């Protein structure tokens, strides 16, 4: 009798050894793969961090914010700083804090600007005013200020160059006239009762004016008061034209200060006082025949004397009002006009 039997490949102990070896190899491979993947991930994170750090350094070095035309004035116990922020660099910038130092008494103040949203894209320019309370400030103190951006750059405020002009202003008065922007305005003759000025605010930049034509004058004034006080004009401030004695029968003419709507050039019927802070510049209009009011039909002023056609005359600005809490008066005489036939 023949018995059939299955082939034998070894004992169970041999099979267990093979299986164990395979499992060990797979475990080692798994651990190695995990370590390799973890190493690759960490290396990638490191490279990314290095890349971001280098980019931040490049952006910080590329950031170029300029704070110019800085002007300091005192408002109570506050230092009012007016300046121009301009982003001249290729990257956007965010201004976080503003520091002001009173160099006379060593007091300083930092102001958080994050809620003010001073974000500047490349090419942006902002004219801003910041008031900072500092203990013991005086108008004759010297101040220093700077910004800090989100990238950690310090932006010093460059003070406006008023030194020479301010020294001159001590001799002739606190208000300076921009000679080259002296202008006059005419009225819309289609509506003779309209108080609207033509081509406001540009007007006619000229030192020749028409005869027998209702006109108003515009002058650009800057407050350069050395004590950094605000100057306020009352209703008696005027532009005065007077002619030489060689013009027979010549008379003087006066245009009183008025308020003008900046949107459409409309002259207001009554006058409210105009103030110019230290370092600020404004266009001031003189148009009325009498102080404090303007009635379009009655208060337009013209040079009507026939004897002063084609004649040169002198212009004086007679300014009056308040300098801070005190009186103010100044005469600015540096313009002449030629009255041509009109």
Statement: residue 15 has pLDDT above 90: no
Statement: residue 73 has pLDDT above 80: yes
**How does the average pLDDT of the chain come out, rounded?**
84
Beta bridge pairs of residue 232:
275, 322
Statement: residue 192 has pLDDT above 70: no
Statement: residue 190 has pLDDT above 70: no
Written as six digits, the tokens of 129 are: 């005013």
Beta bridge pairs of residue 65:
87
Chain center to CA of 318: 29
Q: What share of the chain is helix, strand, coil (3-state, %, to 5)?
A: 20, 40, 40
pLDDT at 297: 81
Statement: residue 11 has pLDDT above 70: no
pLDDT at 231: 95
Q: What is the mean pLDDT of residues 233-260?
A: 87
pLDDT at 167: 44
d(CA 45, CA 166): 59
Statement: residue 260 has pLDDT above 90: yes
Which of 251-272 are b and which e, b meaning 16 or more Cβ less than 10 Å from the residue's Cβ?
A: eebbbbbbbbeeeebbbeeebe
* pLDDT-derived band at 274, boundaries 50, 70, 90: very high
pLDDT, tens digit, 9 for 90 and up, residues 303-342: 888 888 888 899 999 999 999 889 999 999 888 999 997 6
Say if CB 65 and CB 85 are below 8 A apart. yes
Say if CB 137 and CB 74 are below 8 A apart. yes
Statement: residue 56 has pLDDT above 60: yes
Domains and CATH numbers, the chain: 65-160 (2.60.40.1620), 164-340 (2.60.120)
* pLDDT-derived band at 247, boundaries 50, 70, 90: low
Statement: residue 7 has pLDDT above 60: no
pLDDT at 291: 96
How many Cβ atoms from other residues are within 10 Å of residue 213's Cβ?
16
pLDDT, tens digit, 9 for 90 and up, residues 138-189: 877 889 999 999 888 989 998 765 544 444 444 467 888 888 899 999 988 6
* pLDDT-derived band at 258, boundaries 50, 70, 90: very high
pLDDT at 330: 93
pLDDT at 170: 47
Least confident of 109-113, 135-139, 248-252, 300-304: 248-252
Higher pLDDT, 297 or 83: 83
Higher pLDDT, 297 or 123: 123
Q: What is the mean pLDDT of residues 52-73?
A: 80
d(CA 195, CA 161): 38
Statement: residue 74 has pLDDT above 90: no
Sequence-distant (≥ 6) Cβ neighbours of residue 31 within 8 angstroms: none
pLDDT at 249: 64
How many Cβ atoms from other residues are within 10 Å of residue 139's Cβ?
14
Q: What is the mean pLDDT of residues 95-103?
A: 92
SS3 164: helix
């Amino acid at each position: 009798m023949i018995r059939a039997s299955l082939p034998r490949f070894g004992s169970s102990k041999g099979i267990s050894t093979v299986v164990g070896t395979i499992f060990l190899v797979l475990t080692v491979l798994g651990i190695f793969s995990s370590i390799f993947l973890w190493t690759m991930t960490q290396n990638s994170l490191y490279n990314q961090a290095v890349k971001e750090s280098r980019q931040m350094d490049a952006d910080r070095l590329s950031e170029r914010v300029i704070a110019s035309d800085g002007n300091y004035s005192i408002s109570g116990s506050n230092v009012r700083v007016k300046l121009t922020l301009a982003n001249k660099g290729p990257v956007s910038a965010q201004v976080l804090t503003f520091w002001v130092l009173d160099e006379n008494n060593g007091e300083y103040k930092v102001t958080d600007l994050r809620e003010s949203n001073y974000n500047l894209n490349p090419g942006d320019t902002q004219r801003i005013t910041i008031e900072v309370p500092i203990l013991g400030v005086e108008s004759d103190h010297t101040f220093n200020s700077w910004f800090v951006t989100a990238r950690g750059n310090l932006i010093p405020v460059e003070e406006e160059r008023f030194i020479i002009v301010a020294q001159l202003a001590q001799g002739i008065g606190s208000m300076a006239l921009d000679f080259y922007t002296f202008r006059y305005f005419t009225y819309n003759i289609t509506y003779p009762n309209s108080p609207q000025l033509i081509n406001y605010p540009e007007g006619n930049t000229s030192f020749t004016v028409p005869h027998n034509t209702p006109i108003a004058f515009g002058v650009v004034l800057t407050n350069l008061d050395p004590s950094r006080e605000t100057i306020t004009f009352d209703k008696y401030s005027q532009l005065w034209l007077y002619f030489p004695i060689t013009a027979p029968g010549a008379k003087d003419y006066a245009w009183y200060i008025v308020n003008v709507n900046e949107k459409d050039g409309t002259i207001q019927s009554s006058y409210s006082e105009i103030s110019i802070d230290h370092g600020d510049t404004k266009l001031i209009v003189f148009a009325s025949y009498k102080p404090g009011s303007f009635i379009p039909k009655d208060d337009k002023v013209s040079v009507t004397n026939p004897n002063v056609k084609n004649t040169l005359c002198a212009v004086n600005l007679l300014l009056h009002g308040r300098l801070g809490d005190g009186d103010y008066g100044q005469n600015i005489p540096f313009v002449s006009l030629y009255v041509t036939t009109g």
